[in-house]
Structure 1
């Protein structure tokens, strides 16, 4: 086997490459319309998607998309705006209004190509009437710290918005909308990708209220009034304004895992994809995967060795400490603690967008001697886990994985390599 660290990084890089817009956009392009072609979009990959679309589109087009700070790329015809993620800011609010303005006054001869990827929820923070940006920021922070899964968080976001939950698609009517989506959510449900601004939403404002109650999240009075009103309801399946719209999933977590699996096969290693929809508390998922690793490492069955256990999805972290954490490094630290120095087992966990939590760090690599090296440096792994300090822990060991902006996002990537 080649160097385990290098091999894990090659698999991670292959997963990211498989989700690059340049590879995914061309085969999903619609026929040019009789009228205008307008491009809109939001997400960490939206600027790169716009650049790929410009390169391959046969006619004229114009439009505007919003991406995360640092994720902009030069485009000739589509205006690229930047805003904050994961907590929204004024730039995102202004960009949301610009996008809504861009689709006003369209006709049935016009075509709207909507480029959506993960991160779009925070980048389109146009709140419902009476709700301030500060209200949305507070609610977003509370959701991120609550332990709610991505589907639950996005349900709340859809029902507090003037642009999510199909409302942007309704604003495009009577133009035809073609959605090109890069999925970052377990299950690849379009309504959960960027909170579904251009697809119908079967959930209700009562569902949103239930989620807020379930996690004990206090919201401003204006937000509750909005949820109690008809304005808080999203656009439902069967709405005539969305008839004829088309949605394509152009890249998904499963595609990324299959690309990593191919790297493993070429290296003579058996890939085992356990799933692309793994959710749960990150440290608990780490314990479960440690149990799976023990089983595989100490039994002749069920997998041929050497092998690599691959998985994706989106775990969560209920923040209790004051450390520099992220869900992938939290998973990895928990895994390392439970494996307790198991011989020859290496693991990588990272976010395919290059940002785990609030850090410009994609994730980290754990090695058989991770705990031993930490103790030698005076670190206490369990204390770091309790403080949600995964980034601080792995950074001191020199085991962080830094990619910079990847210009795509198909969520978490986890690989456990067994000799």
Structure 2
């Protein structure tokens, strides 16, 4: 096969993978399957603006809130749009968190909340719990990023310190119905790790999280030591667990993921190479830009 054909096959596989996970495309497709129009929209994550615009493009005019990073920021009609910091939160994220909390609290039994969740939401919406400051959250995030813990473990710790993560956003929105569209950026597509699961239960045992905290000396931070003490006292507001009544109102749809994109790439390659279907593609975890440079060099 000539080199030009190899290049064409690689480009087609790359394009196929991108199209399989394109935020606007998959959100548009999901909206076509939605039975009831939403009355309010909350979009959180690095793809939040793209997903919200896709909803707008379907003719839905419901008001809402968009929280995304600086690079993805865009104004959307009839929505309050916030730019926030990633990967370490800042005061803008705190303001966005307060807006989301107020909006969720105002929903009633006749409301249908559409959540558009993508990666990055953990930092974009810090929403510190009672007794925790933004500076505490910033220090915790920096310590987690330096700890060597994987994304699932980091988010398990983060969920202890939030008013929104670990199903708490769903609890705030009761009695409204919730439909959530998720774009996964985490290995294994564990729902509780996508933006730290604002509308899903936390399946990680509390004892396991406490062991991770101790093993990585995270309790050297005052905020973590205080949380561990509150847990021991039984006064901490913990993430929601499976079976919580608030989560019965949530209908979850995973729209795109790394696995779906890899499948699209493999399918494209199979049109050119007989052995493509048997490719064993490894899971890669880390900063996307750093990994991209590493792959390009290889």
TM-score > 0.5, shorter chain as reference? yes
Query: Does the aligned pair in 1 maintain the 2:218–2:224 contact within 8 Å?
Result: no
Task: Please state whether the residue corresponding to 2:202 is helix, strand or coil.
Answer: coil
Q: Is the 8 A contact 1:159 1:227 kept in 2?
A: no
Corresponding residue for 1:370? none
Aligned: 1:31 with 2:35: yes
Q: Which residue of 2 aligns with 1:98?
A: 99
Question: Highest CA radius of gyration, 1 or 2?
Answer: 1
2:266 equivalent in structure 1: 261
- Counterpart of 1:51 in structure 2 is 53
Cα deviation digits, residues 372-410 of structure 1 (max 9, x gap): xxxxxxxxxxxxxxxxxxxxxxxxxxxxxxxxxxxxxxx
Alpha carbons 1:157, 1:195 under 8 Å: kept: yes
> Offset of 1:271 from its aligned partner?
1.9
Alpha-carbon distance in structure 1 between the residues aligned to 2:114 and 2:142: 31
The 1:356/1:38 distance shift into structure 2, 3 A limit, reads farther
Show the 5 A alignment for 1:148-187. 148-187=149-188
- Asked if 1:365 corresponds to 2:296, the answer is yes
Deviations 1:346-393 (A, max 9, x none): xxxxx3xxx338xxx7654235xxxxxxxxxxxxxxxxxxxxxxxxxx
In the alignment, the residues of structure 2 paired with residue 106 and residue 202 of structure 1 have an alpha-carbon distance, to the nearest angstrom, of 27
Q: Pairwise CA RMSD of aligned residues?
A: 2.3
Measure, in 2, the Cα distance between the counterparts of 1:55 and 1:9: 29
Q: CA deviation at 1:81?
A: 1.3
Shift of 1:313: 4.4
When normalised by structure 1's length, the TM-score is 0.64
Between the aligned partners of 1:44 and 1:27, the Cα distance in structure 2 is 19
Residue in structure 2 matched with residue 75 of structure 1 by the alignment = 76
Structure 1 CA distance for aligned equivalents of residues 293 and 55 of structure 2: 26
- The number of aligned residues is 290
1:208-219 alignment runs, 5 A limit? 208-219=209-220
Select the structure that is richer in helix. 2
Distance 1:93 1:362 in 2: 32
Could you tell me how far apart the structure 2 residues matched to 1:248 and 1:76 are? 25
- Give deviations 1:183-239, integer Å, cap 9, x for gaps: 111221211111001112133443322111122224432333234333341112211
Shift of 1:6: 6.3
Shift of 1:248: 0.4
Residue 241 of structure 1 corresponds to which residue in structure 2? 246
Classify the secondary structure of the residue corresponding to 1:40. strand
Higher relative contact order (CA 8 A, sep 6+): 2
Q: Deviations over 1:77-113 (max 9, x none)?
A: 2332111111111111111111111112211110000
